[in-house]
Amino acid sequence: MYNSKIIGLGKYVPENVVTNDDLSKMMDTNDAWIQERTGIQERRWIKEGTDDTSATMGAKAARIAIERAGLTKDDIDFIVFATLSPDYYFPGCGVQIQDLLDMPTVGALDVRNQCSGFVYAISVADQFIKTGMYKNILVIGAEYHSNGLDKTTRGRGVSVIFGDGAGACVLTREEDNKKGILSTHLHSEGKYADKLVVASPSIKHWVPEIIEAGEEDISYYPYMDGTFVFKHAVVRFSEVIVEGLEKNGLQKEDIDMLIPHQANLRIAQFIQKKFRLSDDQIFNNIMKYGNTTAASVIIALTEAWEEGKIKTGDNVVLAAFGSGFTWGSVIIKWA
Ligand SMILES: CC(C)(COP(=O)(O)OP(=O)(O)OC[C@H]1O[C@@H](n2cnc3c(N)ncnc32)[C@H](O)[C@@H]1OP(=O)(O)O)[C@@H](O)C(=O)NCCC(=O)NCCS
């Protein structure tokens, strides 16, 4: 069995910055409420007329990751793409990456695990590398939320939180089993699926029925029971980080860098306090980008690395929680 390690990281966010004040012109909200509850100051929303989508943003991030890995697109053996906002209902975005990057006809797999999407995706890629089936895998997380949000006061509890963006990494084979990804831990609890959901269009409630229902039916907008999600998030984040540390004989103090999914700054601060981490041991960028769901962990990991906050030999922990519910962690000895 091999290990896998990250050898290239990239990110792409749309140019268009939407501040909290911009949102207050669309709906009844304000900067103080949003910052106090979520820590978010601004987010990126794709502007009409650009070519940005989950697939094209993912491709832009992927090109950077591949170049930084010192590889070419022809070296990539497999693609794993995580998103809840694909360009098409089907097929998924993975195949679009194969085309957009003009890659050989390698396999492409889409992961649908919302805010935990990137953690699940990297775990899947890790298994393929461990068994020796593939050597270099491109893993992408990308989201185009803004076109699907209810930007009226009715949707303010959800729409102020989410942002658009993409991140990517290249995983490669590592012969030393004490380096790279040491373990991944994945969980789900489907009984809470309806607590954070886009219910339609689904095959049981298809487009003509939604149109017929008219204004009454807004099941195509995201619904979130924010308080319920918050309570579960803080518990599951903590559990799954501890699970990963214990599996590898590590203590809280051994964490050099925790990259939590950027759901809400208050959740990250709760975790930071609970694990007694200094500001240097945790990375947050939700202030700038909001919650970019499957892109959030990989955008944050990329920025932390770009800012020189991750060094060879560091114990890096990725953790995520989200719709499903799904949650997971990844323990990495940075190599
Ligand atoms: C969404 C979240 C910020 C809401 O914060 P909250 O303290 O739970 O707020 P509530 O939803 O209880 O709403 C409190 C009040 O603020 C109002 N409100 C909601 N959104 C608002 C907004 N954007 N601006 C101003 N007021 C708003 C509500 O209408 C409510 O008013 P009321 O008391 O008159 O009914 C918070 O629940 C949260 O972050 N949850 C977790 C979200 C998350 O992590 N999601 C991603 C999972 S991966």
Instruction: Summarize pLDDT for 213-235 with one digit per residue, the tens.
Output: 998 999 999 999 999 999 999 99
Nearest-Å Rg of the Cα atoms of the chain is: 19
Kindly give the distance from the C-alpha atom of residue 176 to the centroid of ligand 1, in angstroms, as a whole number: 46
End-to-end, the C-alpha distance of the chain in Å comes to 17
- Spell out a b/e string for 38-73, using b for 16 or more CB atoms within 10 Å of the CB, else e: bbbbbbbbbeeeeebbbbbbbbbbbbbbbebbebeb
Q: How many CA atoms lie within 13 A of 40 on its CB side?
A: 31
Q: Is the dihedral of CA 171, 173, 176, 181 positive or negative?
A: positive
Ligand 1 close to Cβ of residue 296 (< 6 A) = no
Told to judge if 232 belongs to the known catalytic residues of this protein, a careful annotator would answer no
Per-residue confidence at 13, pLDDT binned at 50, 70, 90? very high
Ligand 1 close to Cβ of residue 20 (< 6 A) = no
Told to judge if 261 belongs to the known catalytic residues of this protein, a careful annotator would answer yes
Ligand 1 close to Cβ of residue 38 (< 6 A) = yes
Told to judge if 93 belongs to the known catalytic residues of this protein, a careful annotator would answer no
The predicted-structure confidence for 273-319, as pLDDT tens digits, reads as follows 999 999 999 999 999 999 999 999 999 999 999 999 999 999 999 99
- Of all residues in the chain, the percent with pLDDT exceeding 70 is 100
CATH number of 3-174: 3.40.47.10
Catalytic residue among 136, 284, 285, 291: 291
Q: Is the dihedral of CA 314, 290, 264, 191 positive or negative?
A: negative
Tokens of 1: 């069995």
Q: Atom 23, ligand 1: which residue's CA is nearest?
A: 156
Averaged pLDDT for residues 132-152:
98
Ligand 1 close to Cβ of residue 201 (< 6 A) = no
Report whether 135 contacts 30 (CB < 8 A).
no
Ligand 1 pocket test: which of 189, 230, 232, 235 has the largest number of ligand atoms within 8 Å of its C-beta?
Answer: 230
Ligand 1 pocket test: which of 227, 262, 326 has the largest number of ligand atoms within 8 Å of its C-beta?
Answer: 227
Alpha-helical regions (H) of the chain: 20-24, 31-38, 54-68, 93-100, 117-130, 156-159, 207-213, 226-247, 265-274, 286-289, 296-306
Catalytic residue among 232, 261, 264, 284: 261
pLDDT attached to residue 119: 98
Averaged pLDDT for residues 136-156:
98
DSSP state of 189: -
Ligand 1 close to Cβ of residue 286 (< 6 A) = no
CB atoms within 10 A of CB 271: 19
Compute the distance between CA of residue 145 and CA of residue 163 in angstroms, rounded to an integer. 6
Ligand 1 close to Cβ of residue 282 (< 6 A) = no
pLDDT attached to residue 199: 97
Mark residue 39 as left, alpha or beta (left: phi above 0; alpha: psi -120 to 50; beta: remaining).
Answer: left
Per-residue confidence at 142, pLDDT binned at 50, 70, 90? very high
Ligand 1 close to Cβ of residue 294 (< 6 A) = no
Tokens of 141: 């997380």
The predicted-structure confidence for 53-71, as pLDDT tens digits, reads as follows 999 999 999 999 999 999 9
Kindly give the distance from the C-alpha atom of residue 297 to the centroid of ligand 1, in angstroms, as a whole number: 22
Closest ligand 1 atom to residue 322 Cα is 48
pLDDT attached to residue 84: 98
Averaged pLDDT for residues 128-144:
98
Mean pLDDT (the chain) is 97
Averaged pLDDT for residues 238-255:
98
Ligand 1 pocket test: which of 26, 34, 37 has the largest number of ligand atoms within 8 Å of its C-beta?
Answer: 37
Residue ranges of the chain assigned to CATH 3.40.47.10: 3-174, 180-193+224-333
CB burial of residue 155 (10 Å; 0-12, 13-18, 19+):
middle
Per-residue confidence at 196, pLDDT binned at 50, 70, 90? very high
Ligand 1 close to Cβ of residue 226 (< 6 A) = yes
Q: Atom 46, ligand 1: which residue's CA is nearest?
A: 263
Tokens of 256: 């050099």
Q: Atom 7, ligand 1: which residue's CA is nearest?
A: 37
Ligand 1 close to Cβ of residue 115 (< 6 A) = yes
Could you please state the CATH topology (level 3) that the domain comprising 180-193+224-333 is classified under. Answer: Peroxisomal Thiolase; Chain A, domain 1 (3.40.47)
